[in-house]
A and B are shown apart, each in its own frame.
Chain A
Amino acid sequence: MLVIKDLHAKIDDKEILRGINLEVKPGEVHAIMGPNGSGKSTLSSVLAGNEKFEVVEGEVSFNDKDLLDLAPEDRAREGLFLSFQYPVEIPGVSMVNFMRTAVNEHRKYAEKDPYTASEFLKLMREKKKLVEIDSNLTNRSVNEGFSGGEKKKNEIFQMAMLEPKLAILDETDSGLDIDALRVVANGVNKLKSPETSTIVITHYQRLLDHIVPDFVHVLYKGRIVKSAGKELAHELEEKGYDWIKKEFED
C-alpha cells in the first residue's frame, strides 16, 4: 500500500524529516507516537503533498504509484486521506457544497458519473449515522465556528464520505471528550476493511485502546527510532520518552 524510503524533507532550509522508512500493508493499522515537534505532522503533510515542505531525498510509493510525483488532489483521489491536526475553516462554503464537490471529483477520477443531488444527500445521511455526527454540523459552513472536538468529528465524517484506502489521522483524539473519542474510534473501526490501512498519530494510549494498532513507531527528531507491537504504546505511557531519547543519543 504505502512504502516510504529514506524520506528527507525541509522547510526554510531546516531539515525536519531526516530519513524516514516505513511500510504499511493493506489492512494494517500503524500508530506513530513521539514528542512534540518531532515531525509527525510534517510527515503527514509531506505525504498529502503540502508544497510548504520541500522533499530533498527519498521515495514514496502508494499503490505502486510514485506518490511524490502526484498533485495533492490526485493523491486524495488515489485514496489518501488526511485527518488534519488543525482543520481549517472555510467561511461561507456549506459542508454540503464542499463535500459534494469533493465526492464528485473522486468519482470523476474513477470515471464514474457524479452523484445526483438526491443520491448524494442519501449517502450523506448514511455516513452521518455511521459516524454519529450531529446533523446541524453538516448544515453549516466548513468548520466555521466548530468547536475543537466538532472539527475532529467532521474530519472523520469526511473520511467516511470519501472512503479512502489509506487514512492518516493526525491527533484526531486531541480535543475529543470521552464519549466523542469512543464514537470517533468506532467510526474509524467501522470504515476499516482488509483492503484499507490506517496511520494513527497520537500522544495517548486511550485512542489505541479503541483503534488497536498492529505496529507502534516512535518518531524522534525526524527519524523513526523505535518500532514494535502495540505493547510499546503502553510502555511509553508508563515511562515517557526519556529512555528512548537516551538510547538514541547514545
Chain B
Amino acid sequence: MAEDQDKILEEVTGGEYKYGFYTDIEMEEFPTGLNENIVRLISAKKKEPEFMLEFRLKAFRHWLTMKKPDWAQLNIPEIDFQDIIYYAVPKKKPELESMDEVDPDLKATFDKLGIPLDEQKVLAGVAVDAVIDSVSVKTTFKETLAEKGIIFCSISEAVQEYPDLIKKYLGSVVPHQDNYFGALNAAVFSDGSFVYIPKGVRCPMELSTYFRINAINTGQFERTLIVADEDSYVSYLEGCTAPQRDENQLHAAIVEIVTLDRAEVKYSTVQNWYPGDKNGVGGIYNFVTKRALCKGDYSKVMWTQVETGSAITWKYPSCVLQGDHSVGEFYSVAVTNNHQQADTGTKMIHLGKNTRSLIVSKGVSAGKSQNSYRGLVKVSKKAENARNFSQCDSLLMGDKCGAHTFPYLEIANNSAKVEHEATTSKIGEDQIFYCNQRGMSTEDAVGLIVNGYVKEVINQLPMEFAVEAQKLLQISLEGSVG
C-alpha cells in the first residue's frame, strides 16, 4: 500500500515541463569560448567606457586564478567554459516606440507564457523591462518613472547614461573576488537591469523584468543593480521561464541591492528555468549571486523567492546588515522534482547594532530530487543586540527524494539572540485521504496541501505574482492539472 501511494505521487508529480518551446529569433553570436579577447570584444561591442573594460578585465584575470566551488550538496557535471558562447544579441534589434514594433515571435512567446507584456500590464500598473537573452528589447513606462526621477533601464544603457552611479555601486556589494561564478559574471556580463530610486521617492508601481534564455549554448550572465536612496521604497519582480532543449545551460547572474538610510527594497522572484526532462537530461544550471547591502540605518531588504525550475540551483540571496537597526528578511519556497538538485538558502550578516533578520524557508521535494537548505547567520563583534529567527521546513513527497538542512551560526557577540526551528514532514496520507473523502482527486489534494504548506511565503508576493506562483507549483508538481 505504501507502494501504491508512491505510484500515485509519481503519477501526479511526473508532469512534463509546460513551457518548453523555442522562439526562432535571429541571433548574432560570438565565437564559442572565453579568453581576454572575448572580454574586450564584449566591451567594445557595447561601446563601453574605459572604466567598464577595466572592471571586466580585472574580474576575468581574477577568475582565471579561481577554482570552482564544490562544497554544495550538489552533483555538478563538468562545465566546459570554452564551449559556451558569451554574447548574443537578437539581430532584429528594434528601437521600440510601441508594442506594435515588438517582434511578433517574441510577443507570441510572452503570450504563451501568459506574461501580459501589453496594455493589460500597463493597466495593472507594472512597468516591464523584458530581457530576452542579452539585450533589453522593451521598456515601458519609462516616462512616468522619469517624472519621479526613478531610473529603470538596462544596465548597458546605465553604463552609458549614468556612469557615476555605476562606478559607485556596481560591484560594491558583490566584488569580483567574491566567488567563481560572480567573477565570471563580472567579466562577461551581457545585460540586465538597473534601478535607482531617488531620495524620498516611493516607486508607484512594481518594477518587473522577465528573463528568458533563448539562444542555444549561450551562457547567461545577467547583472542587476538596484540602488534605493534615503527614505525610498521599491518592489521589484523577477520572473523566468526557459524553453526546452537538450544541452545543459549555464546561468550565472548577479543581483546587487543597496539601501541607504530608511530605504526599503522588496525583491521577489518566481524562478522557473527548464529543469531537465524526467531522466534529468537538459535543464538549466542556475548559479546566482544575489546580495543586498543594507548600508543605511533603519533600512530594510526583503527577498522572496519561489524556485521551481533548473536542473541545478545554487543560490543564496543574502543581506549584509551594515546600518544600525537594519532588517533583512528571506522567504523561500524551493520545489524540486524528478532529478533536480537545489541548494539554496540565505546568509544574514549582522554588522550594525540592533539589526534583525528573519528566515522562512519551505522546501518541497518530490521524485528523485535533492533539496537542501543552507543558511548562515553571522553576528559580528560590534553587532549589539542582533536578532535572528529562522524557520526551515521540508516536505517530502514519496521516499526517493531527499531534504537536508544546514544551518550555520557564527556568533561573535553575546547579546545576540538567534533562534532556529526546523521540521521535516511527509505529505500526509491521512491528509490526502481526508481530501479524497470530500470529493477531491489525489492530484488536487496534493496541490491544495502543498499550496497551504507554502502559504506563508506566497503571501509575501505581490498579488498577481502570487497567483502565478501558485499555478507554477501546481504545474511543477501535478503535471496533468491546469
Contacts and interface: CB of A to CB of B under 8 A. Distances in A.
Secondary structure at chain B's binding surface: helix, strand, loop or mixed? helix
A162 B448 contact: no
A60 interface: no
B343 to A, nearest CB: 25
Contact of B449 (A48, A90, A105, A109): A90
B238 interface: no
Contact of B452 (A50, A88, A141): A141
B433 A72 contact: yes
Contacts of A48: 433, 437
A101 B440 contact: yes
Contacts of B471: none
B429 A105 contact: no
Interface in B416-471: 428-431, 433-442, 444, 448-449, 451-456
Given A84-B434, A88-B431, A98-B438, A105 B1 contact: no
B439 A93 contact: no
Contact of B448 (A82, A88, A93, A106): A93
B428 A158 contact: no
A169 to B, nearest CB: 13
A192 interface: no
A72 B433 CA distance: 8
A50 B439 contact: no
A134 interface: no
A97 interface: yes
A150 interface: no
Contacts, number: 79
Interface string B1-24: 100110000000000000000000
B452 A87 contact: no
Given A51-B1, A54-B1, A88-B428, A82 B452 contact: no
Interface string A59-82: 000000000000111011100011
Nearest to A94: B452
Given A51-B1, A52-B429, A92 B454 contact: yes
Nearest to B441: A73
A91 B452 contact: yes
A73 B438 CA distance: 7
Nearest to A106: B439
A158 B452 contact: no
Nearest to A87: B434
A101 B429 contact: no
B431 A90 contact: yes
A201 B181 CA distance: 64
B452 A101 contact: no
Contacts of B435: 90, 98, 102
Given A72-B433, A101-B448, A105-B444, A92 B438 contact: no
A98 to B, nearest CB: 7
A187 interface: no
A49 interface: yes
A52 B448 contact: no
Name which of A54, A90, A101 has the most chain B CB atoms within 10 A of its CB.
A90
A51 B4 contact: yes
Interface string A26-53: 0000000000000000000000111110
Contacts of A90: 431, 434-435, 448-449, 452
Contact of B1 (A52, A87, A106, A162): A52
Contacts of B436: 49, 71-73, 76
Contacts of A88: 428, 430-431, 434
Sorted from nearest, which 3 A-B pairs have the closest CB atoms?
A92-B452, A93-B452, A72-B436
Interface of B: 1, 4-5, 428-431, 433-442, 444, 448-449, 451-456
Interface of A: 48-52, 54, 71-73, 75-77, 81-82, 84, 87-88, 90-93, 97-98, 101-102, 105-106, 109, 141, 158, 162
30 contacts: A51-B1, A52-B1, A52-B429, A71-B436, A71-B441, A72-B433, A72-B436, A75-B437, A76-B439, A81-B437, A84-B434, A87-B434, A88-B428, A88-B431, A90-B434, A90-B435, A90-B449, A92-B451, A92-B452, A92-B456, A93-B448, A93-B451, A93-B452, A98-B438, A101-B440, A101-B448, A102-B439, A105-B439, A141-B452, A162-B438
